Amino acid sequence: MKRGRERKKETQTTSSSPPAKPKDLTQTLPDSGGMDELLEVLGYKVKSTDMADVAQKLEQLEMVMGEDGVSQLADTVHYNPSDLSGWYQSMLSEINNTGSDGVSSSVDFDITLPGDASTTMIDFSNNNVTNGQQTSNMYDDDPYDLRAIAGGAIYGISSTDESLEDRNGIKRMKSAGSDEIIDVPPESPRPVVLVDSQEAGIRLVHTLMACAEAVQQNNMKLADALVKHVGILVASQAGAMAKVARYFASALAQRIYKIYPRESLEDLHMHFYESCPYLKFAHFTANQAILEAFAGATRVHVIDFSLNQGMQWPALMQALALRNGGPPAFRLTGIGPPQPDNTDALQQVGWKLAQLADTIGVEFEFRGFVANSLADIDAGMLDIRPTDEEVVAVNSVFELHRLLSRPGAVDKVLNSMKDMKPKIVTIVEQESSHNDTVFLNRFNEALHYYSTMFDSLESSALTQSNTLDLEMSEVYLGRQICNVVACEGTDRVERHETLTQWRTRMNSAGFSPVHLGSNAFKQASMLLALFAGGDGYRVEENDGCLMLGWHTRPLIATSAWQPGSVVET
């Protein structure tokens, strides 16, 4: 087994290097995938070959965008602002097609802000739809310290050396033998958010890190000593960092002593749903995309890859019920794992939803499928009806990553998804890289991620009286931590990957993105402001997807897809 070699770095990082010499103004830098690199670094995607063309569109837009144009454009729905060409084009089309219907040109979505002249309020409980619209109108003192952890040696490694490209086109490094320290750079950026950085807690994190590194090097004696030391340090700490540290220490201990945790029994989903906005955001944004896809359909079929308590569906059903022209017939297929006591949990959820459907006047059909793995389900079992009769949406919230624990499973499921002939596929996943082949990288990523999660929970705690939900949410997250750190192979199911990684996978599997727009963004932001408790939550738009984060750290990402390759325009 070979170590990653030190890449010979250019001198650009030394202080004595001269500044970049002025270049020919029209020259663009070597591109990455055809995109102009200078603009890409700033978050904008423009093909180098298109620069002049896009500049021209921008000029035209400036010229035709008078005062009337501005108010019209400001109130339409915008998509994917990174794609400058597409964005300018959509606005140009908008102005040239003044008077077209199907566009929400007269509705001001803005919530009342101080000094805000508009006073339109949106009724969140009913997801009201206004007339004439097809699309839905539905928008230092602290006692603890969050220490940041930079990963283990991360410099100077060429990622093209000795990398394996797995089936999903994601490069991986071979893992080291027992004595070697891994010099492997993490695949994704490691965004660290510290809150009121204090001195206390340094040693705690330092010790956790050192312990993880000892485990990586297979030095279990050292790891054992360190994990015990963490236990002592944690005893004197309070707050989010201490809680996180306890879970990580416990997970490390289990890994060291090879006491692998059994699959947990109690479903803590509801508590997590209640105590913080992540699941609500996931459901809300996915539903937005589904609603738009269902526009005009008379029969719809949602396939939910992890039904749980079915909390996502009442809101969707209500929105459908209030739709202009009346609701479609709504069919729900819910998939879930077998229950230890053999109760039919899925049917119970189906029954409750059926009762709701009855009260709001939506024709409803439910079918539950018990499966150990999504890979056990294929489209043929699901009674897929012809696409001109029924529109299908496939929905997966925090479920797809589990498939990565078995080779071939995710590919099989993505193929089955195509057989389901969905108009839209909505996916919500944790925005973090917890599936690196190198244990230490996984550990570091997870430590940052869950520190931020716990921190956000603690903030939410300040505005809640129900501490049970909060405590159970911590246990819920703690289980994930344990799985990421202590388990391996098919037991390690919390194999979270980033949006970038999922994008690659979905593109390879033959799906193209469906962009979430400014209306979904706006309403998600407003919902957070009203219901989130703790005002550190932020919504961010990322190339057509929406992410929810705590302060500057995105934590979950919602994306939407349709079968078919990306069309080059």
Partner 1 sequence: MVFMAASNEEIKPNEAKKVVPLHTWMLISHLKVSYNLLRRPDGTLRRELAEFLDRKAVANIVPVDGVYSFDVVNRTTGLFNRVYKPAPLDNNGSLHRLATGILDFESPLSSSEIVPVIIFFHGGSFTHSSANSTIYDTFCRRLTRDVQGVVVSVNYRRSPEHRYPCAYEDGWEALQWVCSRSWLVSGKGRKVYVYLAGDSSGGNIAHNVAHQAAVLGVEVLGNVLLHPLFGGERRTESERRLDGKYFVKLEDRDWYWRAFLPEGENRDHPACNVFGPRGCDLAGIKFSKTLVVIAGLDLVQDWQWEYVEGLKRFGHDVKVLFLEKASIGFYFFPNNEHFCKLMEELKRFLKG
By CB under 8 A, what part of segment 149-178 binds partner 1? 149-156
Taking the complex as a whole, the smallest distance from the CB of residue 109 to partner 1 amounts, in Å, to: 8
Q: Alpha helix (H) ranges present in 50-133? A: 51-64, 67-75, 84-96
Smaller CB distance to partner 1: residue 149 or 482? 149
Give 200's contacts (C-beta < 8 A, 6+ positions apart): 143, 144, 145, 237
Q: Please give the Cα distance from 505 to 380 (Å, whole number).
A: 23
d(C-alpha 534, C-alpha 278), whole Å? 13
- Output 84 or 244, the one with its CB closest to partner 1: 84
Measured from the CB of residue 394, what is the shortest distance to partner 1 in angstroms?
A: 26
Which two tokens mark 64?
């035709």
For residues 232-249, b (16+ Cβ closer than 10 Å) or e, as one string? ebbeebebbbbbbbbbbb
Q: Rule CB under 8 A: choose which of 122, 138, 173, 195 binds partner 1.
A: 195
- Cα 14 to chain center, whole Å? 37
Closest approach of partner 1 to the CB of residue 232, in Å = 19
CA distances from 85 to 39, 45, 56, 255 (A): 13, 8, 10, 51
Asked if 229 interacts with partner 1 (CB under 8 A), we say no
Shortest spacing between CB 179 and partner 1, in angstroms: 16
Give the length of the chain: 569
**Ranges within 484-503 binding partner 1 (CB under 8 A):** none
Residue closer to partner 1 by CB (options 183, 390) is: 183
Name which of residues 509 to 528 contact partner 1 (CB under 8 A): 518, 521-522, 525-526
Looking at residue 333, its amino acid is: T
Cα(82)–Cα(353) distance, rounded to whole angstroms? Answer: 39
Q: Residue 535 CB, nearest distance to partner 1 (Å)?
A: 6
Exactly one of 3, 47, 174, 206 binds partner 1 (CB under 8 A); that residue is 206
Among 35, 95, 170, 384, binds partner 1 (CB under 8 A): 95
423 contributes a contact to partner 1 by CB under 8 A: no
Closest-CA residue to 485 (of 165, 277, 223, 203): 223
- Measured from the CB atom, the residue of 43 and 102 that comes closer to partner 1 is 43
Specify the residue, 66 or 380, whose C-beta has the smaller distance to partner 1: 66
User: Which residues inside 333-372 make contact with partner 1, applying CB under 8 A?
Assistant: none
Task: Please state, in angstroms and rounded to a whole number, the distance separating the CA atoms of residues 452 and 276.
Answer: 13
Q: Which CB, 73 or 170, lies closer to partner 1? A: 73
Cα–Cα distances (Å) from 307 to 276, 360, 490, 565, in that order, read 19, 21, 22, 29
Tokens standing for 420? 């389901």
Nearer to partner 1, 153 or 222 (CB): 153
The Cα–Cα gap between 525 and 404 comes to 32
Contact by Cβ (8 Å): 282, 306: no
Q: Which of 101, 123, 179, 199 is the binder for partner 1 (CB under 8 A)? A: 199
Window 118-147: contact mask with partner 1 (x via CB under 8 A): ---------------------xx-x----x
Minimum distance of partner 1 from residue 347's CB (angstroms): 41
**Interacting residue with partner 1 among 30, 101, 113, 489 (CB under 8 A):** 113
Choice from 185, 328, 350, 478 touching partner 1 (CB under 8 A): 185
Rounded to a whole number of angstroms, the minimum distance from the CB of residue 435 to partner 1 is 17
By CB under 8 A, the residues from 22 to 61 that bind partner 1 are 22-23, 25-27, 29, 36, 38-39, 41-44, 46, 51, 54-55, 58-61
State in angstroms the smallest separation of the CB of 312 from partner 1. 23
- Closer residue to partner 1 (CB): 67 or 123: 67
Give the orientation angle of helix 239-257 with respect to helix 439-461, to 10 degrees.
Answer: 150
Q: Please, is 33 exposed, middle or buried when counting C-beta atoms within 10 Å of its C-beta (0-12, 13-18, 19+)?
A: exposed
Per-residue binding string, partner 1, 439-468, x by CB under 8 A, is -----x--------------x---------
Contact yes or no for 333/302 (Cβ under 8 A): yes
Fill in the DSSP letter of residue 35: B
Of 509, 524, 519, 517, nearest to 545 by C-alpha is: 517
Among 5, 74, 351, 562, binds partner 1 (CB under 8 A): 74
Residue list 304-333, contact with partner 1 (CB under 8 A): none
Distance CA 565, CA 118 (A): 42
Q: At what angle do helices 202-216 and 439-461 cross, to 10 degrees?
A: 150
The answer to the question of residue 192 lying near partner 1 (CB under 8 A) is: yes
Closest distance to partner 1 from the beta carbon of 85 (Å):
11
Among the listed ranges 76-84, 217-225, 227-235, 419-427, the one in contact with partner 1 (CB under 8 A) is: 76-84
Q: Between residues 240 and 349, which has the closer beta carbon with respect to partner 1?
A: 240
CB atoms near residue 491 (< 10 Å): 13
249-288 residues near partner 1, rule: CB under 8 A: none
Contacts of 504 (CB under 8 A, 6+ apart): 168, 169, 170
| 434 makes contact with partner 1 (CB under 8 A) | no
Range in contact with partner 1 (rule: CB under 8 A) among 180-188, 269-277, 336-344, 350-358: 180-188
